[in-house]
Amino acid sequence: MDFITERNMIYACDNEKVIAEVTFPNIDDTTVDINHTFVDPSLRGQGVGQKLLILAYETIKQQGYKAVVTCPYAVKFFANNPSYRDILK
């Protein structure tokens, strides 16, 4: 699956339809909010959501931002993966 990275979001499409995405809009000059994760039902259970959050983590860290997390799926991801918590505010 090919992921597309744009400002404040990473997503994948299939025939022009978004099938997976994570969004992390800026809330100030140094912080983003990981506020939404979506994976199409046909892809669930295949690790796509985790891959999205790892890509978001890498992007946010590379850009030098910190993150707050309001998406319930992302909250669980960071709770279960302490090695990714260094970007959390």
Residue-wise pLDDT for 20-53, tens only, equals 999 999 999 999 999 999 999 999 999 999 999 9
pTM for this predicted structure: 0.95
Helix-strand-coil split of the chain, %, nearest 5:
35, 35, 30
Q: Which domains are present in the chain?
A: 4-87 (3.40.630.30)
Residue-wise pLDDT for 27-36, tens only, equals 999 999 999 9
